[in-house]
Amino acid sequence: MIDFHVHLGNCFRHEYPWGRVSPSPEQLIDWMNRMGIEMACLLPLESPEVCAGYYLTEDAIAARDRYPERLIAFCCVDPRMPHLAEQVDVFVNTYGCKGFGEALNGLAFDDPLNKAVYAKCDELGLPYVFEINTRFCTDEVGLPRLEACLREFPSCIFCGHGPGFWCAISGDDDRTCGYPDGPITPGGAIDRLAAEYDNLYLDLSAGSGYNAMTRDPEFTIGFIERNWRKMLFATDYFIAGQDIPHVDWLASLDLDDQVRHAIASANARRILGMDEE
């Protein structure tokens, strides 16, 4: 399996020294071994809205260099920083970063500053991991801002995640986000956008992805049948000792081998440009 979404760093600086802590690279590798995860994508966090601390791209590169057979480094630059395009070029072309994200900033999804990032990812063919929420990369009912960017930047591989993204799986999404329970109403934006745009992928991580996949098991069966080529196994592991239900959930599904393999690793390998073994 490839976990498409994990974090290290110092995300809980405000709780030091008695609160939650982010895992060390060694703790992450130990957890991966216990979960049966072959590789994981390290997603830096470099916007001040995200949390009290940061996870810098340089730290992701350093961890990747310690465990190059297990870890994949992404880069992240806050869109309000100067020299963004040049910085991404350095991280990708010199240091081998394979994607951009996780993007969590207080701008609208189609803000010109965010679109400058999409243009660079479009140029380089990079996966772009983002969270939509009421505070981060905001959008409206039906995700029109996301759709416009999917259309404008067809070579940027948008990998959606977060409460504001996954609430749009249901046709009754009202943008209050959160973690709704109960049946999913057909006609949600996620199904439509995944069908119409080759460059939209579905990051299953965190409580938002898990909630979307488990709140209505009957709907989930059809959703997987329609979208399994776009789904990315991911956890959002970022707290040492964190309880992660995603591995057991994927194992519990009655799927044929091709579908399970695609969700677990093959889809990620394809968009990361990795050869299948």
Mean pLDDT within 131-145: 93
| pLDDT for 153 | 98
Average per-residue pLDDT for the chain: 94
| pLDDT for 63 | 98
CATH 3.20.20.140 describes domain 2-272: yes
Report the SS3 class of residue 11: coil
| pLDDT for 277 | 45
Give the tokens for residue 203.
């990051």
pLDDT digits (tens, 9 = 90+) for 72-121: 999 999 999 999 999 999 999 999 999 999 999 999 999 999 999 999 99
pLDDT digits (tens, 9 = 90+) for 254-265: 999 999 999 999
Mean pLDDT within 4-18: 84
List, in sequence order, every beta strand (DSSP E) within the chain: 2-6, 39-42, 71-73, 100-103, 127-131, 157-161, 200-203, 231-232
pLDDT digits (tens, 9 = 90+) for 195-239: 999 999 999 999 999 999 999 999 999 999 999 999 999 999 998
Mean pLDDT within 30-56: 90
Domain segments of the chain as ranges: 2-272
